[in-house]
Chain A
């Protein structure tokens, strides 16, 4: 039996990092007795360690709460969590598409920040009812009036309507629950229409295969149905249906307006994409839900074990991680400098960071990552076209007619006082000006076409520092354009190190070459011999720096009491050495291979 749809509320929480999203979610779970205080692990929704440490949510999650409102009636709340970073904009938009409302949480001591705005616009795009909430009102530094005004001015909804809460102490949480009942619209849709359900997340379970999290938009689904994934064009038999409370609870059917999970013996997560529409094979809907995009990796890098004997372990770890992450792609590659490893594709830099950290933390692998690269389209003189995702694989200049690189449409929103700085930054990063317009009284939208490779090279960090964190960035892949690009090689002690090659814009090659050799000189420790570091284009050296030889590395005194201390010190240093890669005759620390990301060459 379907639950009365007018008593269902589907919503997300939108907040800047540290503004209290997870704490608020915990409090909602607790005060609806979804989870008892005893079971309460701090911040239940962010279940990955990594997420908890960084205060960001990467993996989406959804939980069903039941609430008895002041009017005496029972309601079902589906709280759908959203990740919060530019790499995952699409996922955020899909989980918002599964909701009718959003709680917009703003820190009473901080005010509205850029990331909140970006997600706020996604909520508006998805026609969500937005409930502003001012959190952390218990703090002495809370400035409620200012933040109310901030919400009115920056977000454009009345700050006076905002609920004042402290998720930490639980103050006014009851008001939030009542506001959800009162203000978030109940879902609509025809329960008798053909099934139309939105996939907003999925994960792999070794017993049941891929578990899909979905929102039923129209129709209903039950165990034993054969479902059809419209974009993937695949059929599966449903073996299990349920809701998460957050413990899984099996139910017989899911109806229009409801949120739950579904298992159907799906073996490969690559067949299941967020935004995909689920319908029934025998009674299909005519049109899929709007907004589906197949995500393509935008950024590639090499991943190598520092010690090559861990290659198989790395492969196994990638196999496992990709079970749960359809956006992670990888294939084996070999580097002269680094040995056997993998070329991996990611949605963006954060995605890359997250994978790296999970490999190191959960699988205890000691890794080297090479600098990330975009995919270049190379037109050869013989008329052939090839794709290059690894700079060292770029053919000889003489064989190349032209190189095209991906451009993105970048949309930056910033308070108007920062517009000059933002434009200067975009200009420096080879941006092509498109448009500048007022969003409201205080903010402007700046549009540029920009090479993706420039966005990868610390654009986001720079944008943040140029605008004191107030700018938001959104971009989508646009088109490939021919650029004046060359491959820059790095030579250590006279040998070209393939893993350090990058593709650079010719006019800025000299600056980047100088910055690169300087940076490497800082990072590479002194060795037994002097190590020249050179940057070269087409065999011609454009910059050089030398790491001087170490002349003395021995403890001067070693008497009775020094002996144990000295041994321990050497053992510790030996451990540190394990983070170095022997490249030819030179010992290179792991971070050298990523150093191009932190260059300051402007």
Chain B
């Protein structure tokens, strides 16, 4: 006789292993004027209670296999002692696990890097944002250009795979300054560059101070500059806003953009596990008490189609039409005739196997999606 329990077991056994795990560390030394991620100032009392709660949430997932990627993001993970967490993560790490920690430039020192290395961290993501002291001040960062130069050199001695975050599309940044900044990253030999057009979100300092957003045509021009410079220098634009040297794409972020499942733990973190997308609470008190989930939503087939289109079209390769058919049982081009007109309008293009955006289409992706949805 089959009982419910054994049924559940069978189902679990057939679910492919989830590859990725995201952990959120919400603490920061200072709050950046543009940041709308879940974050709070470093308060010792909270840190002391937060890490155990985070580890508890991690264990509750009952992950019983090694992960392909682990990503500790923030906030500023390097602002606190991660040792207990690093220890707790060791069972999920195998030889080829990509393990990234996000950090603040000034936090890095040889002891910290040795510790990270010892616990198999093999990728560092640096919140550099700009390479001009005046602009760094505008963006509310506490480091200087010279700090970036010396810290990148230091990190490279321990961990070669480095990403830098770059912010563009704000009025103080001139096109010339942007070009210079790109040249520095290239010379520093960073493997991966994430670009962010400045968005002014409610609740941020920029929003409260009525900072004037840059005209969208100018923002586009700045991205054109970034694209031209980086592709000329051997970086591949493998996602809307991300560039990498061959072999250095972020495996972790590709999980998101390929609409694959991932675990997410920590304050405000999101996850996609066994057909459900969930969102954690942004309230630290609640989180510490172990009330993790804010909401949880079953992803229907129709929802999933939207997620799939929205995410896959961000990638360089776009949508593998055979994969789409396998996943949803339909022929995308027949199902969404508007795609033909989007191709005519020069926003999408296709080859024998894939449908993907043109360069113009990649900059107008939301227009495309509003029509396909």
Contacts and interface: CB of A to CB of B under 8 A. Distances in A.
Given A563-B307, A570-B306, A528 B197 contact: no
A568 to B, nearest CB: 10
Nearest to B347: A528
The 10 A-B pairs at the shortest CB distance, nearest first, are namely A551-B220, A552-B220, A561-B270, A556-B197, A554-B365, A553-B366, A551-B217, A560-B270, A574-B373, A552-B363
User: Which has the most chain A C-beta neighbours within 10 Å: B256, B345, B347, B370?
Assistant: B370
Main secondary structure on chain A at its contact with chain B? loop
Contacts of A528: 345, 347, 364, 367
A553 B367 contact: yes
Main secondary structure on chain B at its contact with chain A? mixed
User: Which has the most chain B C-beta neighbours within 10 Å: A551, A552, A558, A570?
Assistant: A552
B367 A561 contact: no
Nearest to B360: A528
B271 A548 contact: no
A571 interface: yes
B241 A557 contact: yes
Nearest to A549: B217
A560 B257 CA distance: 9
A556 B365 contact: no
Contacts of A556: 169, 195-197, 199, 240-241
A419 to B, nearest CB: 45
Contacts of A559: 253, 256
A573 interface: yes
A555 B239 CA distance: 12
Interface string A535-566: 00000000000001011111111111101101
Interface string B46-70: 0000000000000000000000000
A370 to B, nearest CB: 26
A567 interface: yes
A172 B294 CA distance: 55
B155 interface: no
Contacts of A554: 240, 362-366
User: Which has the most chain B C-beta neighbours within 10 Å: A567, A573, A574?
Assistant: A567
Contacts of B199: 556
Interface residues of B, number: 47
A323 B269 CA distance: 57
A294 interface: no
Contacts of A563: 256, 270, 272, 277, 307, 310-311
B268 A561 contact: yes
Contacts of A557: 194, 196, 241
Contacts of B185: none
Contacts of A551: 216-217, 219-221, 363
Contacts of A399: none
Interface of B: 22, 37-38, 169, 194-197, 199, 216-217, 219-221, 223, 240-241, 253, 256-257, 262, 264, 268-272, 277, 279, 297, 303, 306-307, 310-311, 314, 345, 347, 362-367, 369-370, 373
A527 to B, nearest CB: 8
Contacts of B197: 552, 556
A253 B197 CA distance: 79
A552 B219 contact: yes
A566 B313 CA distance: 14
A571 to B, nearest CB: 6
A553 B220 CA distance: 9
A208 interface: no
Nearest to B314: A558
Contacts of B240: 554-556, 558
Contacts of A566: 310
17 contacts: A528-B367, A552-B216, A553-B367, A554-B362, A554-B364, A557-B196, A558-B310, A559-B256, A560-B264, A561-B38, A561-B268, A563-B270, A563-B272, A564-B277, A567-B306, A570-B366, A570-B369
A570 B366 CA distance: 7
Given A528-B364, A556-B197, A561-B37, 7 more contacts: A554-B366, A556-B195, A556-B196, A558-B311, A563-B310, A566-B310, A571-B306
